[in-house]
Amino acid sequence: MTKRFILALAFTALAVAPGSVLAQTVKNDYGKGENWLCRPGRTDACTVDLTTTVVAADGKLKEEKWKTSPDAPIDCFYVYPTVSNDTTANSDMTAGTEERSVIHQQFARFGSQCRLYAPLYRQITLTALRANLSGKPMAMDRMMAYNDVLDAWNHYLANDNKGRGVVLIGHSQGSGVLMQLIKNEIDGKPIQDRIVSAMLVGTNITVPKGQDVGGVFQKMPLCRSANQTGCVISYVTFRENAPPPANTLFGRIPGDKLAAACTNPAALAGGSGELHAYLGAARTAGSAAAEPKSWVTPAQPIKTPFVSVPGLLTAECVSNDKGSYLAVKVHGDPKDPRADDIAGDILVAGQVQANWGLHLIDVHVALGNLVDIVGQQSKAYTAKQKKK
């Protein structure tokens, strides 16, 4: 297998048939609270500080507060991406700082719209990926990861759901696991009626070219309105001026009949829209290309964990010979005091890995849009239920 295939497999598909011999392992008990990163009504990885500094183009800063909604009418069920630094090929069931951090960055903010559920699962680790890339592969059990999430989902349905609508949210490996879960357990089955939407970000969800349903899912279409429910939001991000290269990991499907789904969270009906990003305030040297030294010049202290940059980013779904992807445009202005670029490119030995696009911040760049969509879908779903 090529390095490209190994990476794409580990981060996105995880498509091993149920019943595989790889799946024979000890099950987790999801009745135990420690096997969940987030559950309602307790202090855990989702009870974190989400205060944001809004950085205006004129350099002015203001704080944006955030609060949870304990009486939210729907639930959100989240499967996190590849983050574990455990030394084994599959992670253990002890939450590390990396699992808690990605909850903080990608998921906790949805608590303003829904009750939050996030199971721990024995995912394929970064250690295993690095080992494969170095030519010393480790035996990865992809079905262990899938079966953990399946068990957590079934426990949630049996003990917590109580007929409520639910949004499925994932990124990268997490989206791959949820894609399999939907395909095997939800698509076209009665439980689909409870799916408010599925947000499968940072993976290739296949649809027939020019269509919104078909491909990997036969009954769940792509979302084209924030009032549409039972639908799928999926995209992969690349800079507008750096489209997917020939060796891209995302956005391109072999053959001429299928395409990678692209639904723009900033404009579900189509066209361009402004991204409501929530980006990390701290800038880590070496983590991304062309990092600004500060969010504003002259530098001002930012004490919040996140920043928002209204008017700086827009996006549009693009479909061409490069692939199907969300093209992110940065509207930097050298004449104003705000930073003119954002971090997010993957670097190896100081070189941008163009085949990854902005995979690191797929969720971050549109998080505000996604949260708003969940709020609107929640209202639409609740209204439909009252009419039944």
pLDDT of residue 9: 37
Q: Which of 294, 323, 356 lies closest to 55 in space, CA to CA? A: 294
pLDDT of residue 291: 53
The tokens for 274 are 């402004």
> What CA–CA distance (Å, rounded) separates 90 from 146?
12
The residue ranges of the chain whose pLDDT is under 70 are: 1-24, 283-293
pLDDT of residue 293: 66
pLDDT of residue 4: 36
CA distances from 130 to 6, 82, 134, 203, 354 (A): 10, 12, 6, 20, 18
User: How many CA within 13 A on the CB side of residue 248?
Assistant: 25
pTM attached to this predicted model = 0.93
Convert the pLDDT of each residue in 260-298 to its tens digit.
999 999 999 999 999 999 999 985 433 444 455 689 999
Neighbours of 345 (CB within 10 A): 23
> What CA–CA distance (Å, rounded) separates 358 from 345?
5
Amino acid identity for residue 131 in this structure = A
Enumerate the β-bridge partners of residue 314: 274, 329
Q: How far does CA 85 lie from the centroid of its chain?
A: 19
pLDDT of residue 136: 86
pLDDT of residue 145: 96
